[in-house]
Amino acid sequence: MSLTVLDHPLVQHKLSILRDKNTGTKEFRELVQEIATLLAYEVTRDLPLKEVIVETPIAPAKTKVLAGKKLAIVPILRAGLGMVDGMMSLIPTAKVGHIGIFRDEKTLKPVAYYKKLPADIQERDAIIVDPMLATGGSAVEGINVLKEAGCKNIKLVCLISAPEGIKTVQEAHPDVDVFVASIDTCLNEHGYIVPGLGDAGDRLFGTK
């Protein structure tokens, strides 16, 4: 498994505003979307290409187009939804699958409650999106769901992660490449990332 920390200045700047407790829902949503677009650029860096000839107004050009498997973007509900449009702005032909998972507040264990994937998911490379990788339980469960559906090439893209979550995903799914914008310090006693940004779903949807 590879771990990529995207420390691009634009990402770090936007992340700082995102973390601020005074940032409101509208701006929070816009920033999650913008950072997701920047992460999409990085996560697609290794997509295979093939050579083609196109006719420019001047002459034939030997050039390249995407050649690999088709992609699926798979948000983990709810908060992953906030990253879908940002990803799709660079990968507009991707299909979108949805996996619903929430964390039990007491046990911090993931509870899966919904799944709707593209019918041809086993033929697609999948990019799971979720802003937060805390204990890693939700991500591991999301990857399990995709693997059970026949998906072989899976990447995980998160905004903020804790070292505990990265370790858990690495141990459970060593074949999955992980992309994050930040590795924070630790988890607190409630399983929240420190310093983190609080509850991503609540901040995205204004539910608290």
**Binding partner of residue 138 among ligand PRP, ligand URA, none, CB cut-off 5 to 8 Å per kind:** ligand PRP
Which 3 state secondary structure label does DSSP give 129?
Answer: strand
Selected binder of ligand URA within 134, 143, 145, 204 (CB under 6 A)? 134
Query: Among the options 107, 120, 175, 207, which is catalytic?
Result: 107
* By the rule CB under 6 A, 118 interacts with ligand URA: no
**Binding partner of residue 66 among ligand URA, ligand PRP, none, CB cut-off 5 to 8 Å per kind:** none
CB of 185 to ligand URA, least distance (A): 12
* Greatest C-alpha distance within the chain: 66
Which helix (H) or strand (E) element contains residue 111?
A: strand 110-116
Angle between helices 25-43 and 81-88 (to 10 degrees): 50
Please identify, using beta-carbon distances, which residue of 74 and 132 lies nearer to ligand URA: 132
Q: Build a one-symbol-per-residue string for 156-195: x at contacts with ligand URA by CB under 6 A, - elsewhere.
A: -----------------------------------xxx--
Q: Which of residues 115-134 bind ligand PRP (CB under 6 A)?
A: 130-134
Distance between CA atoms of residues 162 and 45, nearest Å? 24
* Residues 182 and 161: beta-carbon distance below 8 Å: yes
Distance between CA atoms of residues 152 and 150, nearest Å? 6
Distance between CA atoms of residues 11 and 35, nearest Å? 6
Selected binder of ligand PRP within 191, 196, 197, 203 (CB under 6 A)? 191
Residues catalogued as catalytic: 103, 107, 199, 202
